[in-house]
Structure 1
Amino acid sequence: MRARGMKITLWTDELQTMRQAYEDIKNGEEPWVALGNFTNDFFDEDEREARRALFVEPLDIELATTETHHQWAVFCAASIEYLCGKYDLSIPHWIHDPVYAPLAIAWYMVPTPQAAQISSVRERLEMETPEAFKRRNIFCGNRIYLNKREEAEKLRRLMSA
């Protein structure tokens, strides 16, 4: 089953590409649900080419997009660059399109707008955020896209040592 907004839809054989995740965001889906669906499919794939197929197509970003949609498009591009670097995958050419250039205003991904006003929170995010996001003026910390299976394996190794 996949979460889609407030409803649950049955599992399908169709994988959630980053392009589809972005479309879902533009259509009103909670961004972390759409990106979570992408992430689940990305981490479920073990083969490099199967993973790459999830982001080879560029996002369908129009010139008339809202500022929020633009932010998420840039975030999606940074996500692909980050995941490609982490999992030794070739970066698709569309990532370098100027439409995914750094945001004009820094975006601090925090739970509340008030948290972004706290200098120590901003400093921590600026220090911990991976380069693919920093270069685009997005500050999300270092826990973005943690693979729960990899983290569980690390914990098992620590516990058995």
Structure 2
Amino acid sequence: MRLFIQYLCLAIILQLVFSELLTINGFQPNIMLLFVILSQMSQPNTPKAVITGFLVGLICDLILFTGTYLGLSSLVFSICAFIASRIRFNFVFRTFDLYWITTLLIGIVVYCLFRYDFLFFSNFFLFLKNVISISLYSVFVSFILVKLFSLKRIILSA
């Protein structure tokens, strides 16, 4: 629990400080979503993972104010926490990156479906451009963070 709170504080600081610095064309990497996915991959209790994802999403909406819709991050983080805790049964060392990247992409697509829903109906190709841009950028930044903090070793040892 102590390690979870330490990494939560680190994720909040990274999201507050570096997401503004890393903004490209209005797109920011979602570090809090990465935190939820990686922290819940080793969680054996799926309901606890969903509640944790919901609470972290609520913190993200209230403290960080990452969007205009209150509760959107809670919904997306709950879905991603559910997926992350369910795939832990298939968890093997060599496919670790595939699992968290896939879950991150699912979370980004769901987030974009709700956040950019007006583009989905009015200009589908602009919507796809936004989804692909945000996805590639978030995966790139997340991959660097996972390698930089050697999170793979920490999660697999949990």
TM-score when normalising by structure 2: 0.34
Larger radius of gyration: 1
TM-score when normalising by structure 1: 0.34
Structure with the largest fraction of helix? 2
Q: Which has the higher contact order (CA 8 A, sep 6+)?
A: 2
